[in-house]
Amino acid sequence: MTDTPVLQGLKVLDLSHQYSGALAAALMADLGADVVAVEHPRHSPIRTMLPKKDGESLWWKVIERGKRVMAIDLSTARGREIVIDLARQFEVIVENFRPGTLEKWDLGPADLEAAGVNAVMLRISGFGQTGPDRELPGFGTIAEAISGFAHLNGEPDGPPTFPSTTLADGVAAVFGTMGVLAASWNRARHPGQPARVEVVDMALFEGLFRLIPTQIPALDQLGVVQTRPGNLLTSHGVLRNLYSSGDGRYFCVSAVGPAAIRRILVAAGADDLIARVDADVMEEDAAEVHEFLDACNAAVEKWAAAADYAELEQRLQAADAVHRHVYSAADIVKDPQFVARDDLIHVPDSDLGDILMSGVVPKFPGRSHTVASAGPRRGAHSDEILRDMLGLKPTEIDQLRIEGVIA
């Protein structure tokens, strides 16, 4: 085991004020990057989000973990100068303001490049940096609406359903991080190029849209607008649904392909349907496959309702069928698999003590990745960074604070 994190040495300046950009920077911090996050001296939207403990947002504690934090008003002339001076010392810059905002403050890619900044710049926004909607405001919910995700989720006879957490923001952050690392790898392959700011342009709706595989091909090739299937996915040619056991526990099964479907039917004792699988019903036309999978679903539903979950689980395990009951947070923290993979970690925090939160993903066997602290207090590292990175004297830092440029 080495103590060297995989991104050790990568320096990231995080100018984000919303979740998606902040998460992208946090993912890099998790893997060892030195991330300096800049927030407004007085107004930080993420700090207002619930739940809170002792006035501290748990969102902030998670999303700013592993970072050093300083507070600068980017809209002031002196704040702009400080950010440019800092940016010259970083390889990656992350921002998620509405397009045109940084340009208004003379902090856009062209401004930074003219000032000698040499970095990859991840820009996450609602609709991206181009196109007729580029200047419109947008949060993750809008992305979930226009990507097709909400339209495809929910019960067939019910309304579109949105996720209960920041799905579009999270997916955009992951794609954005991939873009940063791809651009950084390309730069490493071509050293000695002139200083420039290379933009990675990520719209909130695009990551989620990219993950939905067949909605556009189905329209193009079949003239079909896919609709909400609920939890039952026979329309995909798979056996997947949510079931309730006789003692009222929710669990799911999932099977792609005849071998996996057969295991579920073995657990349910559906011998007649097993015979149809063995007769290659899954190779028939779509109508027959749909009819067969509907029959499978009905059989599993009836079987599930007739027994307690413990008995059902035993049968499913014996058949090697893919299944699991639906976890709450209380289930997650007791699950030995989460524990074994360090997916639950205690992160120290100066306000709340140790906070249990999700671990570092992905894993790098042979490397050690730790999270040093949860999201710090506002401006916790302002003095340290201005002193050590820019050489400012204490009197100069005090004056900036008096002027409201920093906190």
**CATH superfamily assigned to domain 11-210+363-402:** Crotonobetainyl-coa:carnitine coa-transferase; domain 1 (3.40.50.10540)
pLDDT of 273 higher than 90: yes
* Residues designated as active site: 169
Question: Looking at domain 234-326, which CATH architecture does it have?
Answer: 2-Layer Sandwich (3.30)
* Domain parsing of the chain, residue ranges: 11-210+363-402, 234-326
Match 């952050």 to its residue by tokens.
Answer: 173
Q: What is the mean pLDDT of residues 329-354?
A: 97
Contact 154, 34 (CB under 8 A): no
Cα–Cα distances in angstroms (integers) from residue 395 to residues 75, 378, 398, 402, in the given order: 22, 20, 5, 11
Across the chain, what does the average pLDDT equal? 96
- Closest residue by Cα to residue 58 from 386, 357, 313: 357
pLDDT of the residue at 3: 81
- Interatomic CA distance for residues 66 and 121, integer angstroms: 20
Closest CA to 296 of 326, 320, 317, 267: 267
What's residue 1's pLDDT?
59
Domains 11-210+363-402 and 234-326 fall in the same CATH topology:
no
Distance CA 51, CA 239 (A): 37
Look at residue 66 and tell me whether its pLDDT is greater than 70: yes
Tokens of 382: 């302002």
Instruction: For 15-49, write each residue's pLDDT tens digit.
Output: 999 999 999 999 999 999 999 999 999 989 999 99
What's the whole-model pTM score? Answer: 0.94
Residues paired with residue 277 on neighbouring β-strands, in sequence order: none
